[in-house]
């Protein structure tokens, strides 16, 4: 008999046959993207659901929270995207390693970033983007139409309002604390207009949606790491398997088989026999267990042996534990590498044990970090910095002001002195804080004098 499961509007998965073969079945005008990426729009609600049941974010959050390293990977992606934060420049190329342009301080930006608490909002924005590939930013203007508020709205609480007849683009967003949950009530929803790029100061409060648009995803994007869902589930099951095994089966050392008529005694009722069984088993367990013994015994009741002959006494058979978890650990490591790839994070930088070295030399880690920041975060940074370019336009900041993100670097090339401790090419040991600053010079002078005497 075939089994089917509904994936979205007019979309079904059909499994059949002994090999559980499957087929995707659609009827008429089906919305396939509703299940795979959350772009469904044929629900009866006023908003565009994120997933077939508007619970895609909840599913992925649970998946990440069940994993020992998923949130760390998401945050690692965030950390490399934000680097050391935003700096302003005027377009002149930099000779240093941390910045692509020569930093220029613009007082207007420095005052504004403190006003809107930009640094922390930027970190929150980058984390939302790393988790869902979307970031919803509420922009607030004062009576003089200057941008004075930049607040990140959690993706769980924000949805795109469906397009109205005649609309070609999103005109509003809905904010509700309980989207995707049973506690959702339409009455709790607040409507906020969408940012209008043609007239940036049109609304005193509006929402800007940041996302890297994927083909076919008109309303919500989704990050690459969502495609690692199956590998993440595999990795999540392995520690659960071992946790259960340690409690229930890894350490079974003896098989004790007892004749089923062992407790048949005259005058005993059935409940008394069961009580006697429990008392006997407890006594056996106490006699087999030492103070720190975690080994276990398996008890069974028998009527005949394997040859079919009756057995009168109790048999105790030692069991050899031949279980090896090497295969599981290799699978776990493979799943971790697949997950890191899905996050766009090099396994070396994610701190993932792939069964070999975690990283390598400091220079190798440094090269990996520079590659990560220089090649794998550029587009994400371009998307996130859109907020500042809008702020520049609304607030009328100088035309030459531009924005970039400073990379995290271990030391500055061609600037850090060769003898400095921060330079990995330095062979000179760093002096202790409590060491006499002239002590090293005296030691060198003594060595030179000894060499002269030797000559």
pLDDT digits (tens, 9 = 90+) for 200-217: 999 999 999 999 888 989
Q: Which two tokens stand for residue 159?
A: 């949805």
Greater confidence (261 vs 400) lies with 400
- Exposure of 56 by Cβ count < 10 A (0-12 exposed, 13-18 middle, 19+ buried)? buried
CA distances from 206 to 148, 170, 190, 292, 391 (A): 12, 12, 12, 65, 13
Q: How far is residue 162's CA from residue 175's CA, in Å, rounded to a whole number?
A: 13
Residue 370 has pLDDT above 90, yes or no: no
Helix 326-342 vs helix 70-82: crossing angle, to nearest 10: 30
Q: Using 50, 70 and 90 to split pLDDT, how confident is the model at 67?
A: confident
Q: How confident is the model at residue 40 (pLDDT cuts 50, 70, 90)?
A: very low
Residue identified by tokens 């999103």 is 170
pLDDT mean across residues, the chain = 76
CA atoms within 13 A on the CB side of 75: 7
Q: How confident is the model at residue 29 (pLDDT cuts 50, 70, 90)?
A: very low
Neighbours of 401 (CB within 10 A): 17
Residue 399 has pLDDT above 90, yes or no: yes
Q: What are the backbone angles phi and psi of residue 149, rounded to the nearest 5°?
A: -145, 130
Residue 38: name the closest of 231, 176, 214 by CA: 214
pLDDT band at 389 (very low <50, low <70, confident <90, very high): very high
- Evaluate if residue 344 carries a pLDDT over 60: yes
Q: What angle do CA 423, 424, 430 make, to 5 degrees?
A: 65
Question: CA 438, 443, 446, 447 torsion: positive or negative?
Answer: negative
Q: Report the Cα–Cα distance between both ends of the chain, in Å, rounded.
A: 98
Q: Is residue 34 within 8 Å of residue 9, measured between CB atoms?
A: yes
The Cα–Cα gap between 336 and 70 comes to: 9
Higher pLDDT, 337 or 149: 149
What pLDDT shows up at residue 423? 59
CA count, 13 A, side-chain hemisphere, 263? 18
Residue in 351, 353, 349 with CA at minimum distance from that of residue 373: 349
Estimate to the nearest angstrom the gap between the alpha carbon of 136 and the chain centroid: 19
The residue among 125 and 283 whose pLDDT is bigger is: 125
User: Of 45-49, 228-232, 340-344, 349-353, which gets the smallest average pLDDT?
Assistant: 349-353
More confident call, 413 vs 362: 362
The larger pLDDT score, comparing residue 447 to residue 370, is at: 370
Which is higher by pLDDT, 210 or 34? 210
Rounded Cα distance between 51 and 60, Å, is 11
Condensed to tens digits (0 to 9), the pLDDT of residues 141-192 reads 999 999 999 999 999 999 999 999 999 999 999 999 999 999 999 999 999 9
Most confident of the following: 37-46, 53-62, 223-232, 243-252: 53-62
């Amino acid at each position: 008999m075939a089994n089917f499961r509904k994936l979205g509007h007019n979309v079904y998965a059909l499994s059949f046959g002994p090999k559980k073969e499957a087929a995707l079945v659609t009827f008429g005008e089906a919305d396939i993207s509703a299940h795979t990426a959350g772009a469904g729009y044929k629900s009866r609600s006023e908003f565009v659901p994120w997933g077939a049941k508007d619970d895609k974010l909840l599913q992925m959050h649970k998946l990440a929270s069940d994993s020992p390293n998923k949130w760390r990977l998401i945050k690692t992606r965030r950390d490399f995207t934000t680097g050391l934060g935003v700096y302003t420049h005027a377009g002149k190329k930099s000779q240093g390693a941390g910045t692509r342009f020569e930093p220029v301080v613009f007082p207007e930006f420095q005052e504004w970033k403190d006003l809107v608490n930009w640094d922390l909002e930027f970190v929150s924005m980058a984390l939302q983007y790393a988790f869902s590939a979307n970031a919803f930013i509420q922009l607030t203007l004062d009576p003089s139409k200057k941008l004075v508020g930049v607040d990140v709205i959690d993706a769980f609480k924000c949805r795109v309002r469906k397009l109205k007849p005649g609309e070609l683009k999103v005109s509003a967003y809905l904010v509700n604390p309980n989207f995707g949950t049973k506690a959702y009530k339409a009455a709790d929803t607040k409507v906020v207009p969408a940012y209008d790029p043609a007239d940036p100061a049109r609304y005193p409060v509006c929402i800007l949606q940041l996302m890297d648009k994927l083909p076919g995803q008109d309303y919500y994007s989704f990050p690459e790491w969502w495609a690692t869902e199956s590998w993440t589930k595999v990795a999540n099951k392995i520690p659960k398997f071992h946790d259960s095994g340690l409690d229930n089966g890894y350490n079974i050392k003896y098989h004790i088989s007892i004749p089923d008529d062992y407790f048949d005694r005259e005058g005993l009722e059935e409940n008394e026999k069961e009580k006697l069984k429990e008392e006997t088993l407890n006594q056996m367990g106490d006699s087999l267990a030492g103070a720190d013994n975690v080994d276990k015994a398996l008890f069974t009741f028998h009527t005949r042996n394997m040859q079919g002959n009756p057995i009168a006494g109790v048999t105790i058979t030692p069991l050899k534990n031949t279980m090896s978890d090497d295969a599981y650990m290799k699978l776990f490591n493979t799943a971790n590498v697949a997950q890191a790839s899905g996050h766009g994070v090099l396994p070396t930088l994610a701190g993932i044990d792939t069964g070999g070295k975690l990283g390598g030399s400091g220079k190798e880690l440094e090269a990996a970090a520079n590659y990560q920041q220089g090649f794998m975060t550029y587009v994400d940074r371009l998307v996130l910095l859109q907020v500042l370019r809008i702020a520049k336009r609304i607030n009328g900041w100088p035309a030459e002001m531009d924005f970039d993100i400073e990379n995290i670097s271990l030391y500055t090339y061609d600037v850090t002195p060769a003898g400095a401790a921060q330079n990995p090419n330095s062979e000179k040991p760093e002096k202790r804080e409590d060491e006499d600053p002239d002590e090293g010079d005296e030691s060198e002078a003594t060595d030179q004098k000894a060499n002269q005497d030797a000559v």
